[in-house]
Amino acid sequence: MEAFVNYIPQLMITAGLLLLIVEVVVLGFATFILLFLGLALVLTGVMAWMGVIPVSWPMLMLTSGVFTAVLAAVLWRPLLRLQGDTDDKCTKSDFEGYRFVLEADIDGRGQYKHRYSGIEWALKSERPLIAGCHVEVVKAEVGILWIKEVAD
Residue 25 per-residue DSSP state: I
pLDDT digits (tens, 9 = 90+) for 22-77: 988 888 877 888 999 999 999 999 999 999 998 888 999 999 999 999 999 998 88
CA atoms within 13 A on the CB side of 70: 11
Stated pTM of the model: 0.55
The whole-number average pLDDT for the span 124-144 is 87
Neighbours of 136 (CB within 10 A): 15
CA–CA separation, 82 vs 84, rounded Å? 5
Residue 142 — very low, low, confident or very high, per pLDDT cuts 50/70/90? confident
Classified as helix, coil or strand, 70 is helix
pLDDT digits (tens, 9 = 90+) for 93-112: 778 888 988 888 887 666 78
CA–CA separation, 124 vs 98, rounded Å? 14
Q: What is the pLDDT of residue 89?
A: 66
84: left (phi over 0), alpha (psi -120 to 50) or beta: alpha
Any idea where the domains of the chain sit in the sequence? 2-84, 99-149
CA–CA separation, 29 vs 41, rounded Å? 18
Beta bridge partners of 136: 99, 148
Protein fold of 99-149: OB fold (Dihydrolipoamide Acetyltransferase, E2P) (2.40.50)
CA–CA separation, 18 vs 88, rounded Å? 34
CA–CA separation, 152 vs 17, rounded Å? 64
